[in-house]
């Protein structure tokens, strides 16, 4: 490894100058020094990532409850069986799927469209880019709270705007309070907040296409539409897919925004997996059961992401 040779030369230099440092360093082999540098990180990783994961796997096979003391019994795969037969869990998975699929679809289309417009470098595009990026830089807590106000039927700007545009009475609907609207209310907030992020990645993709390829296409008489379909889209596809991957993983485990906006309500219409998980773990205190659910979610995300990354690599190699 390169770092090693670097260390040697430092040691050599040290030998030429003050002695004590050289002596101390000389006591260690290259490997020893390498471990010294990497060690703390590995210990930290083990402590806060790997150990909890293994512990969770262990707990998922027990009836452990964190708020009760007493005997912890091994229950085999019973937690897993219950989860897969639990209608509430499947409802939560459905709510999650609705949220993930729609946010990704809308954010990708909107984000790419915005990136395409901004890439055209119209007047003042720098200003508009900065403005568009603002939502992404806010904290989800802030965003959740102020969208709660925007969605207020009495005083909220959102209802006011809708009623202004469509003529519907603004107190006649509650975005966060109605079973049919709440799933869309959270989609709208996530789209508002994270479209800029997708836009940024797509913009990087568009900027990576060299001008001379478009010039060749122009000389070859490709219409703007043909240039878009046969150059712009395929060449920025790896970037679009990367944005989808990031947003997908992020939204699969979305918690903070939804918890602030609806806490899973009304009823359980917006109760996505992570909220169900939190309830099982810290409201019903079924620690073993929720551990099993967490493991199932983890495997699902991990598996999907892996399949997706394979696909991404294929696209990149095309």
Partner 1 sequence: MAEVALINATKRFGDVAAIGDVSLTVADGEFVVLLGPTGAGKTTTLRVIAGLETLDEGAVRIGGREVSKEAPALRDVAFVFQQYSLYPHLSVYDNMAFPLRSPTRRVPEDEIRRSITEIARMLHIDHKLQNKATRLSGGEMQRVAIGRALVRHPSIYLMDEPLSSLDAKLRQELRLELKRIQRDLGATMLYVTHDQVEAMTMASRIGVLKQGKLVQLGTPREIYEDPAETYVATRLGQPRINLMPRRLFPSLPTPSSAETIGVRTEHLKIDRHHQGAARVARIEHLGDQRYLHLSLEDHSIVTLAGHDTDLDVGDSVALQLERPLFFDRDGMRVRP
CB pairs under 8 A, 24+ apart, for 47-52?
none
230 near partner 1 (CB under 8 A): yes
5 near partner 1 (CB under 8 A): no
CA–CA gap between residue 154 and residue 152 (Å, rounded): 6
120 near partner 1 (CB under 8 A): no
| Closest distance to partner 1 from the beta carbon of 92 (Å) | 40
Stretch that binds partner 1, among 66-74, 122-130, 208-216, 278-286 (CB under 8 A): 208-216
121 near partner 1 (CB under 8 A): no
Task: Check if the beta carbon of residue 207 is closer than 8 Å to that of residue 295.
Answer: no
| Closest distance to partner 1 from the beta carbon of 138 (Å) | 37
Binding mask 232-271 for partner 1 (x = CB under 8 A): --xx------------------------------------
- Among the listed residues 42, 117, 216, 311, the single contact to partner 1 using CB under 8 A: 216
Q: CA torsion 160→161→165→167, rounded to 10°?
A: -10
Alpha-carbon Rg for the chain, nearest whole angstrom, is 26
| Closest distance to partner 1 from the beta carbon of 109 (Å) | 21
CA–CA gap between residue 86 and residue 84 (Å, rounded): 6
Task: Check if the beta carbon of residue 198 is closer than 8 Å to that of residue 136.
Answer: no
Based on CB atoms, which residue is closest to partner 1, 122 or 212? 212
204 near partner 1 (CB under 8 A): no
Q: CA torsion 17→18→20→22, rounded to 10°?
A: -20
CA–CA gap between residue 128 and residue 99 (Å, rounded): 28
- Among the listed residues 132, 157, 181, 217, the single contact to partner 1 using CB under 8 A: 217
Chain centroid, CA 20 distance in Å: 49
Binding mask 7-26 for partner 1 (x = CB under 8 A): --------------------
221 near partner 1 (CB under 8 A): yes
CA–CA gap between residue 242 and residue 204 (Å, rounded): 11
Length of the chain: 318
Stretch that binds partner 1, among 54-62, 187-195, 207-215, 243-251 (CB under 8 A): 207-215
3-state DSSP assignment of residue 166: helix
222 near partner 1 (CB under 8 A): yes
Residues forming contacts to partner 1 in the complex (CB under 8 A) are 212-213, 215-223, 226, 230-231, 234-235, 318
């Amino acid at each position: 490894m390169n770092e090693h040779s670097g260390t040697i030369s430092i040691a050599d230099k040290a030998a030429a100058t003050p002695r004590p440092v050289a002596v101390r360093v000389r006591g260690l082999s290259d490997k020893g020094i390498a471990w010294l540098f990497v060690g703390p990180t590995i210990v930290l990783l083990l402590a806060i990532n790997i150990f909890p994961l293994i512990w969770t796997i262990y707990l998922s096979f027990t009836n452990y409850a964190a708020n009760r003391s007493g005997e912890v019994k091994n229950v085999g795969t019973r937690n897993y069986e219950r989860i897969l037969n639990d209608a509430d869990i499947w409802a939560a998975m459905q709510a999650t799927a609705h949220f993930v699929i729609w946010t990704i679809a809308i954010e990708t289309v909107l984000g790419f469209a915005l990136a395409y417009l901004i890439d055209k470098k119209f007047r003042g595009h720098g200003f508009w880019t900065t403005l568009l990026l603002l939502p992404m830089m806010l904290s989800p807590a802030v965003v959740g709270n102020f969208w709660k106000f925007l969605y207020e039927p009495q005083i909220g700007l959102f209802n006011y705007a809708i009623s202004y545009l469509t003529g519907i009475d603004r107190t006649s609907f509650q975005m966060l309070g109605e079973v049919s609207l709440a799933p869309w209310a959270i989609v709208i907030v996530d789209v508002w907040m994270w479209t800029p992020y997708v836009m940024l990645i797509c913009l990087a993709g568009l900027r990576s296409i060299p001008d001379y390829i478009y010039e060749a296409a122009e000389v070859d008489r490709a219409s703007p539409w043909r240039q878009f379909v046969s150059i712009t889209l395929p060449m920025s596809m790896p970037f679009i897919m990367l944005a989808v991957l990031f947003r997908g993983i992020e939204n699969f485990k979305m918690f903070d925004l939804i918890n602030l906006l609806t806490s899973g309500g009304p009823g359980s219409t917006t109760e996505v997996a992570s909220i169900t998980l939190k309830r099982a773990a810290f409201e019903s205190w079924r620690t073993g059961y929720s551990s099993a659910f967490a493991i199932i979610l983890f495997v699902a995300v991990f598996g999907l992401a892996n399949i997706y990354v394979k696909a991404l690599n294929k696209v990149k190699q095309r």
